[in-house]
Chains A and B, each alone.
Chain A
């Protein structure tokens, strides 16, 4: 009698241990997946930022063809691009990106005063492309933040909360927002 009971009990215990192990494996894999997704999302933002950076010279040349004397606004754009190239920390990068956004807004605002420029096909194409790229930057940041939320939620909940530090998973930060960008946009003509 006794050997039979302990075999049964052994089977149950092994079953529970197996389920437990599978659960740990599942949680670990989930944390890995989400972490990699966050890293990918971050690089997607970089791709769009790079695209915007590359589109700007063409835009500046097109506008100069019609409004060469608007030197102030061209200066702003050039400075913003330079600050992006010079940025080293994440905070500096975020600031540079906001600078570029503001400079582009001013540039397009200036272009409003030149109907011939607005009708230029190249300009219209660039306008659409830059507008599309700005949207894509926003969407990429949104996806990054969504993924960070999912990851942080996972490693803050039980039982992953106990596993995460053991495997080196720590909370990630949401996309940094420059305080200057929170203020209303000033458009100067």
Chain B
């Protein structure tokens, strides 16, 4: 349990570092190749600012999109008690609890820090899972909140977006300026055209892969940390198996919100490349890791 936690933490740190290196590398190429490298910081700041807005209101936006309603002690006593109990185990204030009326079993957590966090479960989840399994799922979501995963995954998305932005600008300025600008070439820029082209085309792809790798790594981490909270990994393992076996797609989920749920709600998975391009690790592997803790 402890080993899995530390290896995942280091992996996500490494991925962020790689991301920053990628951005700096692209920025360097940009400065070498174009006449107006000053535009670059402005563009990056703009990208960050526009992401901050969506990040600050992320909980309200997501709840509205998902048509969630607040859970009450009268209607959902057990859910409320489970969430409050696990919040005590995690040492964070109890998150707000919401419920989605849908028979597909799923859950998500959102909110940029533990004080402003929200946990949402579907009525299907509460019906289909027993107490131990439900606590396993809530433990996983609580771990996401406590470890600031929402913030990290948003950061990864912003970095990926920045890489895409820079690559796009790079390609455009080369296209319009017919390759490396003459002024730069006159100044003795040693950057070669094919290298820059390759970098600009591959960078967005690499950025997306890194972003998804970060997302998957944090999912494993939340599994391990959640099992640490409940001290019972089998609960979550059983819950994941049940959720994966249920083939009903969640109606209110779409591509924008799918990544936050505990299991991919869109159920349209297939193909060998799926592993690289998926926001969630494969269920069999998650269950295996949990059962061998």
Contact = CB atoms under 8 A, between A and B. Distances in A.
Interface of A: 37, 41, 44, 48, 125, 128-129, 131-133, 135-136, 138-140, 142-143, 147
Nearest to B81: A132
B172 interface: no
Nearest to A135: B85
B91 A147 contact: yes
B88 A139 contact: yes
B78 A128 contact: yes
Contacts of A125: 77
A3 B222 CA distance: 57
Contacts of B88: 44, 48, 136, 139-140, 143
Contact of B85 (A37, A139, A147): A139
Contacts of A41: 91
Contacts of B85: 132, 135-136, 138-139
Contacts of A138: 85
B84 interface: yes
Contacts of B81: 128-129, 131-133, 135-136
Interface string B75-113: 001101110111011110000000000000000000000
Interface in B43-98: 77-78, 80-82, 84-86, 88-91
Nearest to A127: B77
Contacts of A140: 88-89
B231 interface: yes
A136 B229 CA distance: 12
Please report whether the interface of chain B is mostly helix, strand, loop or mixed according to DSSP: helix
Contacts of B82: 132, 135
Nearest to A48: B88
Contacts of A147: 91
A132 B89 contact: no
B233 to A, nearest CB: 15
B78 A132 contact: yes
Contacts of A44: 88
Nearest to B77: A128
B93 to A, nearest CB: 11
Contacts of A128: 77-78, 81
A105 to B, nearest CB: 18
Contacts of A136: 81, 84-85, 88
B127 to A, nearest CB: 17
A35 B223 CA distance: 28
B89 A139 contact: yes
23 contacts: A37-B91, A41-B91, A44-B88, A48-B88, A128-B77, A128-B78, A129-B81, A131-B81, A132-B78, A132-B80, A132-B84, A132-B85, A133-B81, A135-B85, A136-B81, A136-B84, A136-B88, A139-B88, A139-B89, A140-B89, A142-B231, A143-B89, A147-B91
A37 to B, nearest CB: 7
The 4 lowest CB-CB distance pairs between A and B, nearest first, are: A132-B81, A139-B89, A139-B88, A136-B85
Contacts of B77: 125, 128-129, 132
A135 B77 CA distance: 13
Given A44-B88, A136-B81, 11 more contacts: A37-B91, A128-B81, A132-B77, A132-B84, A135-B81, A135-B85, A139-B85, A139-B86, A142-B231, A143-B89, A143-B90
B230 to A, nearest CB: 9
Question: Which of B80, B82, B91: most chain A CB closer than 10 A?
Answer: B91
Contacts of B231: 142
Contacts of A143: 88-91
B89 A142 contact: yes
A15 to B, nearest CB: 24
A123 B24 CA distance: 64
Contacts of A135: 81-82, 85
A59 B89 CA distance: 26
Contacts of A132: 77-78, 80-82, 84-85
A126 to B, nearest CB: 11
Contacts of A37: 91
A125 B89 CA distance: 23
Contacts of B91: 37, 41, 143, 147
Contacts of B78: 128, 132
